[in-house]
Each structure stands twice: as structure tokens, then as C-alpha cells.
Amino acid sequence: MLKTENLTKRFGSVVAVDDVSIEIPEGEITGLIGPNGAGKTTLFNLITGFYTPSNGTVTYKGENITNVAPHEISKKGVSRTFQVPKPLNQLSVTENVVVGALGEGKGRQAAMEKANDTLDRVNFQGDYSMTANSLNVGQLKRLEIAKAVATDPDLLMLDEAVAGLNPDERGKLVDVIEKLNNQGITILMVEHVMEVVMGLSNRVIVLDEGKVLAEGTPEEVQNDDEVIEVYLGT
């Protein structure tokens, strides 16, 4: 569904993403892991058009989207969450989904309904009329996912969706991610919580110092000596 070829991003002398060629198969959940600074978020930014690559290409459903603007990529069906949610604090939960994802194209009433349906879909816990500045971490994470899901993506890219959640909230969010995948959404997830990424993913890609260090099933990756050495530990 999505393919990168020789994708590279340099920041001065730092090569944040270094000649990365990967494929994200339709219908699957792909995990993207690696140590801090491995280039995971930079790769997300390259795929979604927030960064222009220094070299290489991104192909989505057979179309070269390498230099396409983020909102155009979103319209094509690729949406992403951000590691640090930045909601509009004075607006309600529903309004954040409307403003952050649905825009002015739809009528306001229809957009509000769509936003509320999406919040239901991601099991947002709480009153949708609350202002965003009163939300806890778990609610902020759900709001962030709702904004991405509201655009009806075919490919959903999650950047550390469960970070900061307690095990109970984590488990509930894992259920939501599984449900979205069962509804036909292909998922690419950056995640540091191994239990979550290994439990959910069909395949896992490991980045280290901007390069693909390993890829395979969760089992293969967890037993890879190099991956254990640079990231997983003993």
C-alpha cells in the first residue's frame, strides 16, 4: 500500500533517515521501533509530507507522493497522529475534531455529527462538550486519534499512541487500534511499549541510526541478536 525507496533526510551533518526502503502491506498492522533518535518520527514526517526528503521517494497506492503537501496526502487517505497532542485548549472535544480534521467543507451540523461518531468509534471516555484544556492524558490521546480517524484514512499512522497511559488505559486503546484495523484501516505504529507493539503488529521494522536494522514478524525481530543488542536488551 505504501512504499519508500532510498528515503533519506539530512539535517546538516545528521542523517536522520538514511536510505530507507520499506513496504507497508494493506490491511496489516506494521510496528516501527528503535532507540531514541533512530529516525522514526522523521520517517513519519517524510511519509506525510511534513518534511521534504533529501533523497528517495514515497509511493502510496502506486502514486508518487514524495513532494505532495500534507493536506493533500491526508485527502488521499493517509493520516497521522502526533507524539505530543496540541489541541485547541478553549474549544470542546467535538470542536477540536471538527476544526482539526473535518474543516469547513462540510456543513457545520454534519461535521459535528461526524466528529461525535468518530469519538464514539475510538471510545473517547468523557463528555464531548468539555474544553480540551480539562482533558487527562488518556483523553488527549483519544482525541488525537479521533482527529486522524475522522478523515476516513486507509492508512493510519500512530506516533506513540499509548505513551504515558497506565496498563488499563493501554489495554483499552489496544482494543480500539485492533477494532480500527478490523474495520479495514491499515496501521503503521511507532511505539516504545514492546508488549503493545509486539502484540498488535503483523510485522515489525526496526530503525537504528536512520537505517533499517531488521524487519520481520514480532517473533523474528525479538530474537534478532542485533536488535537485542542495540534496542531490546537482554
Return d(Cα 145, Cα 131) in angstroms, integer: 17
Measured from the CB atom, the residue of 67 and 133 that comes closer to ligand ATP is 67
Decide: helix, strand or coil at residue 91: coil
Return d(Cα 143, Cα 230) in angstroms, integer: 33
In the complex, minimum distance from the CB of residue 160 to ligand ATP, in angstroms, rounded to a whole number: 7
In the complex, minimum distance from the CB of residue 34 to ligand ATP, in angstroms, rounded to a whole number: 6
Measured from the CB atom, the residue of 38 and 162 that comes closer to ligand ATP is 38
Measured from the CB atom, the residue of 76 and 211 that comes closer to ligand ATP is 211
Q: Which residues bind ligand ATP (CB under 6 A)?
A: 11, 14, 16, 34, 36-42
Measured from the CB atom, the residue of 56 and 111 that comes closer to ligand ATP is 56
195 φ, ψ to 5°? Answer: -55, -40
Return d(Cα 61, Cα 107) in angstroms, integer: 30
In the complex, minimum distance from the CB of residue 20 to ligand ATP, in angstroms, rounded to a whole number: 11
124 φ, ψ to 5°? Answer: -60, 125
User: Cell 531490546 identifies what position?
Assistant: 232
User: Cell 517524510 identifies what position?
Assistant: 46
In the complex, minimum distance from the CB of residue 157 to ligand ATP, in angstroms, rounded to a whole number: 12
